[in-house]
Amino acid sequence: MRWIGRIMLFQGLLLLMLSSLPTKSLAQVLVNYDSALHENISDSWLSQKESVAVTVDVDQFPDASWRIRLPKGTGLFFNEALWEYYPNDTILVIGNNAIAPFKNNEGKLEVTALKRGISLEEFSIKKGYFKTLDEIGSIENVLVKRNKDEVRNFFFIALIAILFLIAIFRAFFPAIFSIFWNPKSVFSIEDIWESGSFSKIYSAELLFYLVLINMCTGLLVILVIHGLGFDFLGMGRDGEVVKLTYGWLIFSLMLTIITFLKFLWLGTGAFLFNLKKIAFPHFFYLLKVRGFALFIIICMLIVVYANNWVSLNEHFSYMYYTFFIIYSLGLIGLAIWLYKKNGFNNYHLFSYLCTSELIPFLVICKLLLG
């Protein structure tokens, strides 16, 4: 009978140890979908892994929650709907009711983690009751609803509007369009110098072009405000499309006024250096270079922003250096043209370019870099 007493004593000690554990540190996993994960390979010649997906049953255990582990730089999709993009390693606890609207008629749902080069070991999804101390302590990782990126919606709406205006500009002013948006003559100033359309700044086609360029610049300003998290007139992280549209139009108007001030600045410099007819080709040549730089930057932004390759903050440096390089090449082309066309000596050429372009350009760069 001693062995019966020893067994009862052992069971009593085991129950005592289990009862002493904190109940909040336990998590009950009902379904583990890690073994059902499958990789999706891209169709490109590199054949890289682009996503990991699994089909889950939402109606099973309706009162339970979902625990999802994601690596940094991953976009989480429920069926074909984007839930959120996560720039850092994240563990989510999502209520079952929050993702129920995404299921199909059979109660099934495909959960996809989209990231170039992702592996099965980096993604995990389980269903159960999760009440661990770590998950309770990190409230920011517990999501109950999808946060829509209104700035992304605004960006593509504004981009469509700009493309529509560019189409109108090309239809009504084809000659000016070919001068400003011909890739073969981006750094050529002779077409502007020889054209009679650039004798005044108040013509309809040139005003139209000024508005288009400043609308593109204003769009980039809105994205910078959003990416840096500034809450400027409600256009920060939680900006609405209507507020963003008003802000975009205001910034475009302000930039147009600044552009006119820049023309007056060039006119003053040309007067001081006794350079007649230089202000117009100088102004519109650099405006053409600026338009080409904006075209390259926006194309890069469309590819990067649409595919979530990097965050906006990371992409800002690429945008800045791209514009800096193209604008610097434009200034070099302007200096060569001025030297050949007007017979500048080195001192006068350097003084004119410093006064009209280099000093304002470096001041703006310093302000942008803080």
Model confidence at 106, in pLDDT bands (50, 70, 90)? confident
> Measuring CA to CA, which residue among 168, 104, 93 is closest to residue 137?
93
Q: Let me know: does 86 contact 149? Beta carbons within 8 Å.
A: no
Model confidence at 164, in pLDDT bands (50, 70, 90)? very high
Positive or negative: CA dihedral 352, 254, 321, 212: negative
The CA-atom distances, in angstroms, between 43 and each of 47, 147, 179, 187, 339 are: 6, 31, 40, 38, 53
Model confidence at 360, in pLDDT bands (50, 70, 90)? confident
pTM: 0.57
Per-residue confidence (pLDDT) for residue 134, from 0 to 100: 44
Burial class (CB in 10 A: 0-12, 13-18, 19+), 139: exposed
Instruction: For residue range 302-348, list pLDDT tens digits in order.
Output: 887 777 665 666 667 778 788 888 888 888 888 888 777 766 666 66
- Is residue 367's pLDDT more than 70? no
Model confidence at 168, in pLDDT bands (50, 70, 90)? very high
Residue 15, amino acid: L
Tokens 């583990």 locate to 32
Per-residue confidence (pLDDT) for residue 331, from 0 to 100: 83
- Is residue 135's pLDDT more than 60? no
- Is residue 185's pLDDT more than 60? yes
- Is residue 224's pLDDT more than 70? yes
Maximum average pLDDT range among 90-94, 127-131, 311-315: 90-94
Q: What is the mean pLDDT of residues 257-269?
A: 82
For the chain, what is the mean pLDDT? Answer: 75
- Is residue 89's pLDDT more than 50? yes
